[in-house]
Amino acid sequence: MNTIITVKDLVKDYGSFKAVKGISFDVYEGEIFGLLGPNGAGKSTTLEIMETLRDKTSGEIIICGMSLDKEPDNIKKIIGVQLQTSGYYPGLTLIELIHLFCGLYNTGVDPMALLKIVNLTEKAKNKYKELSGGQKQRFSIATTLINKPKIIFLDEPTTGLDPQARRNLWDLIRNIRGQGTTVIITTHYMDEAEQLCDRIAILDEGKIISLDSPDKMIDDLVSSGFERAKQVKSANLEDVFIHLTGKEMRDD
Ligand code: ADP
């Protein structure tokens, strides 16, 4: 396995407040790597530092063999960063927005081919503000792909979406990884991490308290003697909801 990102002893202080307290981890090429944790754990801070959008206090980050301190501009060329959905001009169409981003990245891309990846070709001439929540998220993922990055960073991509839209987004993220792109994702949904991530780092109060595959973490917990209080049914309410409403039937 090739290491594509190395984070070593990363520290971030906001004034006297220590948000990230010396964390270290590697991300492997081609994996979906999750940063998990409760609100305030330091996930977004860590992500934004890796994205070159926020300064760190100390520590070292290497991305594709390049030091974040020495070559931030070269790193920017090979990563895809998801903007918050409020970062788009609501009155522009999806095609216009893609052209705008191409200008920013100084690159060219076929807007319809890009929209096809995220299943939005039918909305190409719609304004951004006319999209549903799930469509907006899919579009924002499309914009991370404009510069054909090796790595994309997604910050809570499914927050606020209904179950169908979330599952569609999971499929999309898996497809993007299937093309060889490494994906770093933050989430506070455990089911999302379990379904999607090859490995996860669980952060709490600025520290990594566990780092492994979801499967291994669960096996370790079970082998430590942990048992759920209640017998778990072989389906849950979300399964009922998806079964009744149908995953593919509705355009999110
Ligand atoms: P998470 O993404 O896990 O919810 P964040 O990285 O957003 O966590 O925040 C980690 C901690 O740092 C929180 O306590 C938050 O309030 C604090 N924090 C984040 N950004 C700033 C900032 N610009 N100034 C001061 N404190 C901040």
- Nearest ligand 1 atom to the CA of 38 is 3
- Ligand 1 contacts CB of residue 12 (under 6 A): no
Residue 89 in contact with ligand 1 by CB distance below 6 A: no
φ/ψ of residue 189, rounded to 5:
-95, 120
Closest-lying ligand 1 atom to the alpha carbon of residue 39: 4
pLDDT tens digits for 50-66?
Answer: 999 999 999 999 999 99
Helices and strands counted in the chain (H then E): 9, 10
- Quick one: pLDDT at residue 250? 54
Nearest-atom number in ligand 1 for the CA of 42 is 6
CA of 9 to the centre of ligand 1 (A): 18
Pick from 10, 13, 16, 17 the residue to mutate for probing ligand 1's pocket: most ligand atoms within 8 Å of its CB: 17
* pLDDT value at residue 5: 98
Phi first, then psi: give them for residue 153, nearest 5 degrees. -115, 125
The amino acid sitting at 200 is: I
* Banded pLDDT at 252 (limits 50, 70, 90): low
211 CA to centre of ligand 1 in angstroms? 21
- The finding on whether 108 has its CB within 6 A of some atom of ligand 1 is no
Residue range 207-241, pLDDT digits in tens: 999 999 999 998 898 888 888 777 677 887 778 77
Of 191, 156, 192, 200, the closest CA to residue 174 belongs to: 192
pTM: 0.89
SS3 state of residue 41:
coil
Dump pLDDT digits (tens) for 149-204. Answer: 999 999 999 888 888 888 889 999 999 999 999 999 999 888 899 999 999 999 99
Q: Is 39 in the pocket of ligand 1 (CB under 6 A)?
A: yes
> Residue 85 pLDDT more than 80?
no
